[in-house]
Amino acid sequence: MTKCNSCNDSSCATRQPQPQENNEQFLRRQALESRLCPIKNRILVMSGKGGVGKSTTAVNLAIALSQQGNRVGLLDIDLHGPSLPKMLGLEDVRPKGNAEGILPLEFVGLKLMSIGFLLQKTSDAMIIRGPMKNGAIQQLLADVAWGELDYLVVDCPPGTGDEPLSAVQMLNKGAVGAVIVTTPQDVALVDVEKSISFCQQMKLPIIGMIENMSGFICPHCDKRSDIFKSGGGSKLAEKYDIPFLARVPLDPRMVVAGDSGKPHILSHPESECSIALEQAADQVSHYWPATVTESRA
């Protein structure tokens, strides 16, 4: 019996099959919705361009939200290049299961899941396409015992293809929105603009934009160098009337943190990067009128 069977909300569409929906499809949808129902807010971290630091942003943003006292889950749906196990030092850890489903791993209060945790070796390739991707993402959502969460942060792969499309179709109910990550240079902005178009076509609200790798402060002379230019993200946000959440500078310690499994926001909380990401988390937490944490008060 799913949680939907014991729910008293007679108006919920999940209680009854939809027209032309067979019993297997109905039960699969019901299982997914029963998992998502206790998750108050869903955040998709997206970018049309690879290499902009999207996964790093997702990890540190999730931790910042958790540090506010929220219950946070972090889901990595990059099926071909999952980064979460490496970035959190959990490459050799595998999830366990019980009658409730697959138990998410935990890290400093976060609930975690990634296809990388389910592979035998980190070097194993995930060779799938099309409908199989959709099925894999549905399993990561429906088969994992997420429990009650204030936020589920979803780290999407770059682009506007199968993975983000599947995630939006499964999550785009209730409080859901996208955080778009870019770097300042024009080559990145051209592709990131496609992510904005994607969100508009999918009617997915955009919470805001983060400009990553925005300027480099030399640790020896304190001189600033705009290696990838600066301000491109804020100009793009202004063009589309999107909230601009933060400008995160280049910091070599951010690279070391990702490789060592010690997130930057924890290992260097005083840094300009960490402060910027905390400011972004503050704006994200105020995007919705109330979180689950507030509603419990």
**Domains with residue ranges and CATH for the chain:** 63-289 (3.40.50.300)
Q: Which of 91, 117, 92, 119 is nearest to 104 (CA)?
A: 117
Average pLDDT over residues 170-189: 91
Average pLDDT over residues 263-290: 91
Average pLDDT over residues 183-190: 95
Spell out the residues 6+ positions from residue 239 whose beta carbon is closer than 8 angstroms to its own.
none
pLDDT, tens digit, 9 for 90 and up, residues 95-139 = 999 999 999 999 999 999 999 999 988 889 999 998 899 999 999
Question: Does the structure show a pLDDT above 60 at 1?
Answer: no
Average pLDDT over residues 183-202: 95
Question: Does the structure show a pLDDT above 50 at 285?
Answer: yes
Question: Does the structure show a pLDDT above 50 at 47?
Answer: yes
Whole-prediction pTM: 0.90
For position 22, what pLDDT does the model report?
81
Q: Pairing between strand 97-98 and 101-102? A: antiparallel
Average pLDDT over residues 237-263: 95
Share of the chain above pLDDT 90, in %: 77
Confidence of residue 76 (pLDDT cuts 50, 70, 90): very high
Average pLDDT over residues 264-291: 89
For position 7, what pLDDT does the model report?
60
Question: Does the structure show a pLDDT above 80 at 294?
Answer: no
List the strands of the sheet with 149-155, edge to edge.
105-107, 110-114, 72-76, 149-155, 39-46, 175-182, 206-211, 244-247
Residues 294 and 280: their CA atoms lie apart, in Å, by 19
Question: Does the structure show a pLDDT above 90 at 291?
Answer: no
Average pLDDT over residues 270-294: 82
Q: What's the mean pLDDT when you consider all of the chain?
A: 90
For position 145, what pLDDT does the model report?
96
User: Which of 55-64, 120-129, 187-196 is least confident?
Assistant: 120-129
Question: Does the structure show a pLDDT above 60 at 6?
Answer: no
Question: Does the structure show a pLDDT above 70 at 3?
Answer: no
Average pLDDT over residues 221-236: 89
CA distances from 30 to 33, 35, 161 (A): 5, 9, 25
